[in-house]
Structure formats: C-alpha cells, structure tokens
C-alpha cells in the first residue's frame, strides 16, 4: 500500500461549499487565514502554518497552553469547518431531497455536493458513498446489510487481533445470528499482522475479512491491499476500517483494494456525527436496506415497500446535512494542505516522538519502530504506573492524552496489559508538544516513583 | 485544585507501601473485584473471627487511587467488628459522593481521599477496595464462599452472552 498517495483533489473552487449557493463567502485557504500565524513560513513546518486555524488549540488548561495529543480519538476542527457549518445553518438549513422551495434545494445541493467531494477525496464511487453516523454504523451496515443475509453456518469471518471493537463486535453479533465463526489474524511481537498465518486462516470458508488499515493503538499500517488480493482469491470480501488511515495516510479506495471502507468525519478535522461507508458499487446495489424509514423508500404500502436507489437506500431518516457540509469543508482543508504533506508532517513528529520517548527510562512503546509501517498513534506503558495516573499528571500540565484500552481489548490482552497511554498526532502537532509530553512523563515518574 | 490535592502524601505513601499486601491462606473468604473499563482489579482475602476482622490481605493491580484506597481500607478494617467497619465503608462512600464531610475519627487516613470526590471518573477507583470488603464481609458473615464481581461494560457483555439464539433461527 502506498501510504503517501495524494488523493484526487476536489474542484479548484473547493473553498466554497457550493458555488451556486447564495450568500456564500469564499473561505480562506488552509494556513493562510491565520491572522496571528508567524509569517514567512511557507513550505516550512506544517503545524506552524496551520495552528492558528484551530481555535480550540489556543485555549489553556490549568493555566497552561493546551497540548492536544489525542487526535486519534478525535481531531480538532479548523475555523473553516466551523464557518462552513455556521453558514449552512444561518443561510441554507432545510430538510433535503423533497422540498420544492429554494432553501431546501440549496440544502439538497450542499448535501449531495458534500457526498461528491468526500467520494472524490478517497477515490470512491459517489453512488456508493453512504453517509452514516460514524465508522461503527458504517460497519454495522455491512454486517447486517450483507453479512446477516449472506453468511451461513460454517462460514468464517476473519478479523485481526488488533481490530477496534467497531470492526469486531458487529461481526460477533452477526456471527451469533448466522452461525458463522470468527477467526483472527494474530499480531506478531513486532506489532505487525502475522501474514504467515494467513495461509492457514484464509480458506474457502472465509466470507469476510475485517481489517483495520491503521491500528488506533499500535499505529501499525496494515498491508490491506495485499490481504485483499489474497482474500479475493478465496472469494472473501474485505471490510477495511479506515478510521485512522483516511485522515492520516491519504489512502484511496483503490489503494486499499477493499470492498467496503469505513471512515469518520470527526477524526479528519470534520464534525462529530457523520461517518462514511464507501463501497464497491455493485455490492452496495445488491444489498437490502439496513435501517428502514423515511428517505430510503421508493413506494410504501401498509404491508410492504420498495426501496430507493443507492446510496439513499442506506440513509434512512433525515441525514446530518450540516455535518456533511462541515465534512466537505474538512476535506477541502486537507486537500488544500495535500495529504502527502499531512503524512510527511506526521512521520516527522512521530519519528521525533519515538526518539524522545526512547530516552524515558522504563517506557515501552507498543508499536512498530519503523516509520514506514506506522502512523502517528503512539501507545506506551511507563513502568508500573497506571495510564490513568499518567493521564491525570499530564492533564495538570495541560497535556491531553488517551489512557485506557482504546476499544481494542483483545489487543491489550495479546500484549498482557490492562491499558496503555497513547499520544497521537495530526497536522497541528509540534515537536515542542512532544517535548512537553516527555517532560511531564518525567514528572509522573518522580511523582509515583 | 492541584495534583497534590488529589494525590496527597498519605495516598502516595499507601500506594508505594500497601499495608496488607498479598493473599491470605487457609480459612478465609476471597473475592476478586475487577473493573474492565479502567483495568483496576484486586483480590481481597478476609478472615473473620465471629464478626471481628481477624485477617485481611489485598492483592491489587491498578491505579494509585485504587491501590492506596484499598490499603487504607485494609488497615482500617483489621481488628474491627464488621458492623463498625461497614459504618466506615458507608462514611467513605458518602465522602466520595460529596454527601458528607471528612470524619477523621471514623476514616483515619481515608480522609485524604476527600479530593477524589471532585474527579468523578476516579471515584470508582477509590471505592473498589471498599466494595470488595463489603462483599467479602457479607459472604463471610453468611458463611458463603468467595466469588468474582466484574463491573461496568462486561456486565452488559455477560448479559448478551447469556441471550441464546433460538434453534434454527435465521434472519
């Protein structure tokens, strides 16, 4: 898998939600709006250029500047995204698709334009790009929409030991209903998927391979394309959890070679409440609805209904239009930076973090050392100090990290830990923040030592 | 409210040097209390002589708050009659929920945890050892065996695991 591929750029007028929408003000290009950004840094450090776009990063916590190192959980939002959403609610808010009046038509246009933009960002078919609530719902859509109707007793669902619960639990539920069996690709001591085990695990019985494109805990970037090729050879479908990969690696649908791809807005500078399922068009077309209700029907009688075309067949009820507009603005922002630049910046900050963390006595990183095989989510343990205690000490210095099992309990068990502390980076993360983290970890060691 | 208010010296002292660590052998009730959400877990051994606590030991893994609180608890209940110890347990619970002022006579080192009440996510850590004691004492007085209690999300998971599919059911 090429991790630095730049996704197709949206159209050049992408700074606007929709050029035909009235009252639209062009939003600033990322990193150029910043009234208080230091000048003369073009082409320099990405974080320095973009930080002023993120209002929340200017706040203080306990009297110290916020050091936000939890972007793998949720990213912060640039002013451009917030402005696009405000603009939507102030000027274009209405329910979509059937309103025969100007504002409703604008809302519909914005919603569908957002879909197109998001689809192009990951190189997916617009018809097969479904807006969901989050990645979890996207994967449940596949598990129930495809799995429940196609899996039979004796079939196998192949997951990995490093899956987020989102790409594991839906399969357990559907396995229970169908009699299918769950098997797992193990994780090696080097924090990589054990591809040698794949030959024994991938058989004619395998119908689904559910794999994370990048681990939210280990940071490991998995070779989804290679796995997909082998999965397809035995007739299995591949469901890739790209919650981390799409925001950080710049992967496209074709790069991954998966049949279904789930990702979410709030981890890629967009709002919470909107996720995406990008699917192979023919597969999605063949699938029955997951959720029933308004929007997803063609005709309804008391006893039965016929259903809408894709993608709307899978979007029951009023969709999150304002969130879609925000996500489109986030996609514009990322495309404006260039995903290759985003990835390069994270490689730099992650490399620096791994070097600095290695200097902390008693600290053990759970994840690959090789920057080519990992993204910017860095999990670690520090002696016997519980991650919640570490996180509490760090918070005192305004540093936000995640402590816990990261919704990956089988992985925690694999490495014999209850929990880890995780620092994760994004476009606005700086090496100075890594220094603050390391200093606070030393403080935690003194405190609990 | 600073770090030193949450992690008072007394708390750090109990964390670094738990008072009654390990497992009790022989005649005792042993309970394991586990919070899978945060990973705090402890095994509490309790020996009763009539209704008096004749022996206690805590084998724990977890955060400083949970381990220190369990240590304070073990020190406080040892040698007391169970009803008195439960009175202290109740006072501690009220302290954690902000329902009572610290009572040093009753809680001794336990009053150092008063600051924890202001950190809602940490209250469950401070209560874990006390919950284990309540459980073990009740079992001991009733002449029952020990057991395991799992908190939080695994309760839901356990419920789901019990719900069986009807034979031949297909959706």
Q: What pLDDT, in 10s, does the model give residues A393-427?
A: 999 999 999 999 999 999 999 999 989 999 999 99
Kindly state whether B128 is in contact with chain A, defined as any CB-CB distance less than 8 angstroms: no
Q: Which residues of A touch B39 (CB under 8 A)?
A: 386, 404-405, 418-419
Closest approach of chain A CAs to the CA of B81, in angstroms?
33
Which residues of A are marked as active site?
A: 407
Give CA–CA dist A246/A426, Å, rounded. 12
Q: How far is CA A292 from CA A112, A127, A234, in A?
A: 20, 19, 33
**Per-residue model confidence (pLDDT) at position A64:** 96
Chain B nearest-CA residue for A448: B12
**Per-residue model confidence (pLDDT) at position B170:** 32
Q: Which of A383, A386, A387, A444 to mutate to test the interface with B (most CBs of B within 10 A)?
A: A386
Q: Count Cβ–Cβ pairs < 8 Å, chain A vs chain B.
A: 51
How would you label A190-209 residue by residue, b for 16+ Cβ within 10 Å and e otherwise?
A: ebbbeeeebeeebeebbbbb
Query: Model confidence over A341-390: pLDDT tens digits?
Result: 999 999 999 999 999 999 999 999 999 999 999 999 999 999 999 999 99
Where are any strands of DSSP class E within chain B? 29-35, 40-49, 52-61, 147-150
What is the ipTM for the molecules in this complex?
0.81
Identity of the residue in A149, A178, A386 whose CB atom sits nearest the CB atom of B62: A386
Residue A449: which pLDDT band, with cuts at 50, 70 and 90?
Answer: confident
Q: Could you tell me whether strands A420-424 and A402-404 are parallel, antiparallel, or unpaired per DSSP bridges?
A: antiparallel
Q: Which residues of B touch A176 (CB under 8 A)?
A: 165
Residue B4: which pLDDT band, with cuts at 50, 70 and 90?
Answer: confident
**Per-residue model confidence (pLDDT) at position A38:** 36
Q: For residues B90-96, give the mean pLDDT.
A: 94
For residue A43, pLDDT over 60 is answered with: no
For residue A215, pLDDT over 90 is answered with: yes
**Per-residue model confidence (pLDDT) at position A13:** 39
Identity of the residue in B41, B121, B171 whose CB atom sits nearest the CB atom of A177: B171
Query: With an 8 Å Cβ cutoff, are A148 and B171 in contact?
Result: yes
CA-nearest of B5, B4, B17, B10 to B108 is: B10
Percent of chain A residues past pLDDT 70, beyond the cut: 90
Kindly state whether B54 is in contact with chain A, defined as any CB-CB distance less than 8 angstroms: no
Average of per-residue pLDDT values in chain A: 91
**For residue A5, how far is the Cα from the chain centroid?**
17
Least confident of A51-60, A87-96, B33-42: B33-42
Give CA–CA dist A314/A128, Å, rounded. 10
Identity of the residue in A149, A389, A396 whose CB atom sits nearest the CB atom of B63: A389
Give CA–CA dist A401/A336, Å, rounded. 28
| Alpha helices by DSSP H, A338-430 | 339-358, 387-396, 409-414
Closest approach of chain A CAs to the CA of B4, in angstroms?
10
Q: What angle in degrees, to the nearest 10, is found between the helix axes of A102-121 and A321-337?
A: 40
Query: With an 8 Å Cβ cutoff, are A447 and B65 in contact?
Result: no
**For residue B157, how far is the Cα from the chain centroid?**
22
How would you label B80-99 residue by residue, b for 16+ Cβ within 10 Å and e otherwise?
A: eebebbbebbebbbebbeee
Residue A82 DSSP SS3: helix
Where are any strands of DSSP class E within A242-398? 260-264, 275-279, 297-300, 305-307, 363-366, 377-382
- The residues, ordered by sequence, that sit 6+ positions from B92 with a Cβ below 8 Å of its Cβ are B73, B107, B110, B113, B126, B127, B130
């Amino acid at each position: 898998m090429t991790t630095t591929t730049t996704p197709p750029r949206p159209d050049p007028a992408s700074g606007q939600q929709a050029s035909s929408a009235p009252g639209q003000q062009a939003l600033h290009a990322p990193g150029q709006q910043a009234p208080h950004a230091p000048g003369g840094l073009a082409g320099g450090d990405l974080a320095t250029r973009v930080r002023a776009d993120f209002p929340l990063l200017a706040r203080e916590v306990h009297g110290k500047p916020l050091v936000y190192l939890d972007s793998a959980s949720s990213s912060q939002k640039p002013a451009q995204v917030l402005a696009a959403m405000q603009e939507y609610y102030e000027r274009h808010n209405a329910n979509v698709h059937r309103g025969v009046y100007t504002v409703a038509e604008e809302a519909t246009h914005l919603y569908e334009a957002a879909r197109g933009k998001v689809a192009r960002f990951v190189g997916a078919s617009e018809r097969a790009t479904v807006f969901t609530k989050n990645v979890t719902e996207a994967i449940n859509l596949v598990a129930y929409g495809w799995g429940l109707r196609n899996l039979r007793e004796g079939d196998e669902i192949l997951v990995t030991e490093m899956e987020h619960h989102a790409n594991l639990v839906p399969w357990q539920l559907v396995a229970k209903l169908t009699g299918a069996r769950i098997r797992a690709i193990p994780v090696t001591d080097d924090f990589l998927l054990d591809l040698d085990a794949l030959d024994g695990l991938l058989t004619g019985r395998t119908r689904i391979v559910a794999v994370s494109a990048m681990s939210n805990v280990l940071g490991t970037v998995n070779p989804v394309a290679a796995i997909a090729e082998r999965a397809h050879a035995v007739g299995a479908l591949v469901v890739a959890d790209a919650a981390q990969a799409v925001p950080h690696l710049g992967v496209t649908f074709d790069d991954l070679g998966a049949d279904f791809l789930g990702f979410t807005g709030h981890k890629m500078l967009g709002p919470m409440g909107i996720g995406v399922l990008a699917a192979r068009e023919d597969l999605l077309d063949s699938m029955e609805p997951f959720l029933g209700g308004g929007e997803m029907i063609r005709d309804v009688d008391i006893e039965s209904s016929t259903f809408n075309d894709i993608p709307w067949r899978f979007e029951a009820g009023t969709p999150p239009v304002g969130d879609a507009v925000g996500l489109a603005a986030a996609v514009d922002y990322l495309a404006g930076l260039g995903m290759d630049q985003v990835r390069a910046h994270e490689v730099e900050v992650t490399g620096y973090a791994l070097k600095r963390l290695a200097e902390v006595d008693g600290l053990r990183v759970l994840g690959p050392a090789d920057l080519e095989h990992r993204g910017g989510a860095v999990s670690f343990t520090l002696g016997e100090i519980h991650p919640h205690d570490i996180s509490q000490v760090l918070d005192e210095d305004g540093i936000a990290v995640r402590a816990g099992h990261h919704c990956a309990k089988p992985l925690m068990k694999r490495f014999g830990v209850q929990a880890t502390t995780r620092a994760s980076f994004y476009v606005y993360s700086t090496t100075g923040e890594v220094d603050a983290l390391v200093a606070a970890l030393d403080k935690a060691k003194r405190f609990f030592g | 409210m600073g770090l030193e208010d949450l992690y008072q010296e007394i708390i750090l002292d109990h964390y670094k040097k738990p008072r009654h660590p390990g497992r009790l052998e022989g005649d005792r009730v042993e309970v394991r209390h586990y919070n899978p959400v945060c990973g705090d877990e402890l095994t509490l051994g309790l020996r009763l002589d009539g209704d008096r606590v004749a022996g206690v030991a805590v084998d724990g893994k977890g955060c400083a708050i949970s381990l220190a609180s369990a240590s304070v608890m073990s020190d406080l209940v040892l040698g007391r009659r169970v009803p008195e110890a439960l009175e202290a347990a109740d006072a501690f619970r009220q302290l954690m929920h902000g329902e009572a002022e610290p009572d040093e006579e009753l809680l001794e080192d336990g009053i150092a945890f008063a600051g924890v009440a202001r950190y809602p996510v940490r209250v469950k850590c401070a209560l874990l050892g006390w919950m284990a004691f309540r459980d073990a004492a009740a079992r001991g007085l009733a002449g029952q065996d020990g057991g395991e209690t799992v908190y939080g999300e695994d309760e839901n998971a356990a419920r789901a695991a019990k719900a069986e599919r009807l034979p031949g059911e297909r959706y």
